[in-house]
Amino acid sequence: MNQEALKALLEATKSGETSIDEALEQLKTLPFSDLDFAVIDHHRQIRNGHPEVIYCESKTVDQVLGIMKHMVNERQQAVLATRVTTEQQSAILDAFPSASVNVLGRTVKINCPEIKETADYVAIVAAGTSDLPVVEEAYETVSALGHRAVKVVDVGVAGIHRLFSRLDLIRGAKVVIVVAGMEGALASVVGGLVDKPVIAVPTSVGYGASFGGISALLTMLNSCSSGVTVVNIDNGFGAAYAAAQIMKL
C-alpha cells in the first residue's frame, strides 16, 4: 500500500464509500510493506548525501555494471564500489571513464564530491606496508562519505619511536582507525596514547599462527586500552563507515 493508496483509502473513508470499520480493518492488517515508504524515506533522509555502496567481491562484471548504470545514469547517485577486482575495474573504466580507481585499495568512486580541507579528520594509522590495501579502502570510504582522512603508515610497535614521531598528527584527529595484522599490538598502544574513539581493523597480514587475521582480531578484542572497538578482519570499509557516523554527529 503506497502513499497514493493510503490517501485513496482516507478519501473513501471521508466520503463514506468505505465504512470506518472497513478502513480500520484494512489499516489494522496492512502489511508492513505498505508502510515501507515511511521507513525508506526517513532512512534516506538521514543518509542524505552518502553515495550508494556496492560490495563487488561475489558479483560478476555484468552485475556490477548493471547496478552502477542504474544508480549513476537513472538515479544520478554517487557510487562507491569496494573489493573491485582488476577485471571489474577495467570494465567500469570503459563504461565510466571519469571513474576514480584506487588500485591498491580495490575501490572505485563515481561522482563522489571532492573533500575540502577541514579541521576535523579521521586518522588512519597502520602498522606496516602490507596493511596498505586495507588502509586505502578505509581512506577512500571516509572520503566518499564526505570526511577528511589522514594516513599514518608504517608505525608498527617494533619500532615505537616511529609512532611517537607521528603522535601529534594522530592525537589531532577526531576519530582514529588503527589497521594492523600479525599481532595487532598497535591498537592497544594507540588506544593508550589518545583519548578519542579508536576503531581497530585486524588484517590478514601474517603467516602461521596469525591464522588469517585471528591473532590480530583477538588482540584487538582483548585490548587493555579502554574504549577500543573492533571490526571484521580486513574490513577497512566498515571501520571507515563507523568513523563517518561519528564524524557527522
Site for a copy of itself in 163-202 (CB under 8 A): 164-168, 174, 182-185, 188-189, 191-193, 195-199, 202
- Least separation in angstroms between residue 97's CB and a copy of itself is 27
32 near a copy of itself, rule: CB under 8 A: yes
5 near a copy of itself, rule: CB under 8 A: no
Tell which residue, 46, 38, 42, has the closest CA to residue 1. 38
DSSP category for residue 46:
H
Task: Rule CB under 8 A: choose which of 28, 74, 76, 114 binds a copy of itself.
Answer: 28
Task: Rule CB under 8 A: choose which of 51, 105, 236, 238 binds a copy of itself.
Answer: 238
Contact 228, 220 (CB under 8 A): yes
17 near a copy of itself, rule: CB under 8 A: no
- Least separation in angstroms between residue 98's CB and a copy of itself is 25
Q: How many CB atoms lie within 10 A of CB 98?
A: 9
Build a one-symbol-per-residue string for 89-108: x at contacts with a copy of itself by CB under 8 A, - elsewhere. --------------------
| Grid cell of 76 as nine digits | 544520478
Q: How far is CA 155 from CA 10, 126, 151, 159, in A?
A: 64, 6, 11, 7
Cα gap 74→99, rounded to integer Å? 17
Task: Rule CB under 8 A: choose which of 3, 73, 90, 118 binds a copy of itself.
Answer: 3
